[in-house]
Amino acid sequence: MHLWRRARLTYDKGPNKDGMLYPDLAGYKTSKLANVMHSKMLSKILQGTHVTANSVHPGLAATDILMAPLKSVLPEKLYTIVDPIFRFISLDSAGGAQTTIFAAVDESLNSVTGKHFGHCRLAWENKLAQDNKACQQLWDYSMKMCGLT
């Protein structure tokens, strides 16, 4: 189950818990949802240009971007137990890249746009990502926050 399945979109920084603005991966879930919603809007904006915009979920990959923070928060003895188990159940870097590569170069997807992929195939989407009005609202908010409107 993707962590962003239960994500809700808010336009604030969320609760501050123990000095963390996004405790319990709340920011991660929201960012994944926003990624899917932005790619949907981008696909509409680019319609007719022969440019596609899709989002991908690479899967759980044991890369340094995930493993280094894990090592920094777990006691050393616990990490030595968790690390090999985690690496056994997750993808390596090359495996984690496959869905991104698939979405970028597979010729069968030349005209596929505004979709979400996982495990090199179409993947489930959060209901909010299917709401055109919500996607437009997020796009407009993002443009405003970036000073582009």
Say which of 22, 28, 79, 141 is annotated catalytic: 22
Amino acid 71: pLDDT: 87
Amino acid 73: pLDDT: 87
More confident position, 36 or 5:
36
Measure Cα distances from 100 to 66, 105, 106, 146 in Å: 18, 9, 10, 26
Region of poorest pLDDT, from 28-32, 90-94, 142-146: 28-32
Pick from 86, 54, 95: nearest CA to 68: 86
Over residues 13-63, the pLDDT tens digits come to 555 556 555 555 567 788 889 999 999 999 999 999 999 999 999 988 988
Amino acid 70: pLDDT: 83
pLDDT score of 72 more than 90: no
Over range 6-12, report the average pLDDT. 66
Catalytic residue list contains 22: yes
Distance separating alpha carbons of residues 139 and 89, to the nearest angstrom: 36
Place of tokens 């990502």: 129
Residue ranges per domain, the chain?
Answer: 3-145
Amino acid 13: pLDDT: 59
Residues 74, 118, 100, 96: what is their CA dihedral angle, to the nearest 10 degrees?
Answer: 30
pLDDT score of 1 more than 50: no
Q: Count of residues for the chain?
A: 149
- For the chain, list the strands marked E by DSSP: 55-57, 116-118, 121-122
Amino acid 2: pLDDT: 47
pLDDT score of 3 more than 50: no
pLDDT band at residue 133 under the 50/70/90 scheme = very high
Over residues 93-130, the pLDDT tens digits come to 999 999 999 999 999 999 999 999 999 999 999 999 99
